[in-house]
Amino acid sequence: MSDLTQATRELFLRSLVDEVYMRTPILEEIKRRNKVTYSGGKYIERLVDTDTIDDLVQEYTVNDALTDQKKNTLDKPRFTWKYAQLPLRYDADEKFQNITAGNEEQLLDLAAHLTEKGQDGVRRFLCKKIFNSGSTTGVADGATGFQSLVSALDHDVTYGTLARTHSTNTRNWWQGADPGGLTATTTSAQGTAANMTISNLRKWINETDVAHYMSGADDLQVVVCPTLYNKLRAEMESKLIYKPGSKQKQGITSMELDGHEIVSVPYLQTTSTMKTWVFILNMRYFELYIHSARNFDMTEFKWQGDVSNGHDYWLSRIMWLGNFVCWKPNSSMFLSNIS
């Protein structure tokens, strides 16, 4: 491996956590909870529990026959690995102004320059993918591209090879939680217009399936655009508590309500569609998977001038293989029409 490749890769990996994970909302929390998983295999899959068995409890007298019932409560969602690569390139001008120049004439440290570009590219990519690149149609299981919060929490779409349909009560346990409440089983209120208020946020959390799966208030992370964040902040100004720690140092703006973290994500401000999105996420059930055989691997810088119609530049690629997965969509909620 060339010195430049080695230096660039070393710098990239050494600061990957601080400059990519810790500066990306949601990924910062996933990393903090040790939910970045490095594994292999043909698929990403595990058994999930789909129901309770309290309805099998029998109350009886000594003269009653005891029931003997069984309820199947296991299923196995399956996700595919998604491929991604980021090209890093420098041309002849950059090479000769950097590598062959003396210290006083050197215009830039090429390894540091490429590392910074690579980290910024990966950070922006992961942030966009988590929010489905602003599209309301989630990435399907077999399609090209990392899956997203929309893929996981949108209603009535197949996820992890498991179909789900509100109107027929098909796998409602695998749907994103519905803001209509615990009894809303045949219709979805996900796109119903509503206002961002403290009262509504408490309702969406405490009166829906979201409440069922919380082991503590800090399980949840509420993710909104800056406009909705500021609207909620104005209402709760007297109760505002900023979370201390690395998030404030890394430029991620957050506050707390009832022990739940609320995070402002500037990327959600970039389209009129995303400005109406609210995500209420139980972070215990989200994982970022990175394949152990392609964990941000970096190829050698190779001169491209020795191929037909080639150019006078050097090219390397950062390669990775993974996916973003939710193992219990019913623990979290996606709202798409909030103002």
Cα angle 167, 172, 173 (rounded to 5 degrees) comes to 175
CB 275 within 8 A of CB 268: yes
CB 178 within 8 A of CB 204: no
Average pLDDT estimate for 196-217: 94
Q: What is the pLDDT of residue 103?
A: 59
SS3 annotation, 104-149:
CCCCCCHHHHHHHHHHHHHHHHHHHHHCHHHCCCCCCCCCCCCCCH
In this structure, the chain runs to a length of 339
Q: What is the pLDDT of residue 152?
A: 96
Nearest to 50 by CA among 231, 142, 175: 175
The whole-model pTM stands at: 0.88
Q: How many CB atoms lie within 10 A of CB 95?
A: 18
How many distinct helices (H) and strands (E) make up the chain? 9, 15
Read off the pLDDT of residues 44-91 as tens digits, 9 standing for 90 and up.
998 888 888 888 899 999 999 999 888 888 889 999 999 999 999 988
Spans of all domains in the chain:
3-48+82-335
Which of the four pLDDT bands, split at 50, 70 and 90, describes residue 146?
very high
| Region for 12 from its dihedrals, namely left if φ exceeds 0, alpha if ψ lies in -120 to 50, beta otherwise | alpha
Average pLDDT estimate for 208-228: 94
Q: What is the pLDDT of residue 199?
A: 93
